[in-house]
């Protein structure tokens, strides 16, 4: 029997910063359990002052959206402007700053649904370009995921991190017009 429950998407707000941190912590633990520590490290986001501040900023930005199944947030999307470490856009765009899902609900299309919602938001704003960046290391699983959602890999980049390994990233773009 298939799960017939519906995933809804709602805007997030300041009270949802803790939810974003919970989702990041869950995803980080899932990655660590699989030996994939290059993306987000090994420590919970909820114990990192930088990540806590980032979650607070996302929750108050007006760009946070949560995927909800029953009464449980199972994914988060943050849209806004491109981060400083990626090549600037060549036209007006909507940028996916965060996409994270609860791996307990893997296989239900939550990430793809959130990306489709981001595309809807971009179209509503009259924008023809949606971009995202992701971790490019390990097995390139994230790059393949985004490609499967209609994105095309464009610009690889590397974030230098003093005292830590460089972080290999990939920008991907999806035309909406």
The string of DSSP letters for 49-71 reads HHHHHHHHHHHHTT-EEEEEETT
Digit-coded pLDDT (tens) for 82-110? 999 999 999 999 999 999 999 999 999 99
Residue 85 lies in a domain: yes
| Confidence tier at 165 by pLDDT (50, 70, 90) | confident
Digit-coded pLDDT (tens) for 142-152? 999 999 999 99
Distance, CA of 4 to CA of 9 (rounded, Å): 16
CATH of the domain at 30: 3.40.630.30
Structural domains of the chain, count: 1
Domain residue limits at 79: 7-175
Mean of per-residue pLDDT scores for the chain: 94
Residue 31 lies in a domain: yes
Cβ proximity of 170 and 138 under 8 Å: no
Residue 1 lies in a domain: no
Residue 72 lies in a domain: yes
Tell me: pLDDT of 2 over 60.
Answer: no
- This prediction's pTM: 0.93
How many C-beta neighbours within 10 Å does residue 94 have? 26
Enter the tokens of residue 134: 């992701």
Tell me: pLDDT of 3 over 70.
Answer: no
Cβ proximity of 38 and 137 under 8 Å: yes
Cβ proximity of 64 and 11 under 8 Å: yes
Q: What was the pLDDT predicted at 177?
A: 84
Distance, CA of 126 to CA of 119 (rounded, Å): 11
Q: What was the pLDDT predicted at 164?
A: 83
Residue 2 lies in a domain: no
Enter the tokens of residue 3: 């799960």
Residue 82 lies in a domain: yes
Residue 126 lies in a domain: yes
Residue 18 lies in a domain: yes
């Amino acid at each position: 029997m298939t799960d017939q429950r519906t995933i809804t998407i709602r805007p997030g707000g300041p009270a949802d910063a803790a939810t974003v941190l919970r989702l990041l912590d869950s995803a980080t633990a899932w990655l660590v359990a699989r030996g994939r520590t290059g993306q987000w490290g090994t420590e919970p986001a909820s114990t990192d002052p930088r990540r806590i501040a980032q979650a607070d900023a996302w929750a108050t930005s007006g760009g946070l959206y949560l995927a909800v199944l029953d009464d449980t947030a199972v994914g988060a999307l943050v849209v806004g402007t491109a981060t400083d470490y990626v090549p600037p856009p060549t036209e007006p765009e909507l940028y996916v700053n965060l996409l994270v899902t609860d791996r307990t609900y893997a296989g239900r299309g939550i990430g793809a649904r959130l990306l489709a919602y981001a595309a809807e938001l971009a179209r509503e704003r009259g924008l023809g370009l949606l971009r995202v960046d992701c971790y490019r290391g390990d097995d390139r699983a994230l790059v393949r995921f985004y490609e499967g959602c209609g994105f095309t890999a464009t610009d690889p980049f590397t974030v230098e991190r003093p005292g830590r390994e460089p972080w290999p990233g990939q920008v991907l773009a999806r035309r909406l017009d």
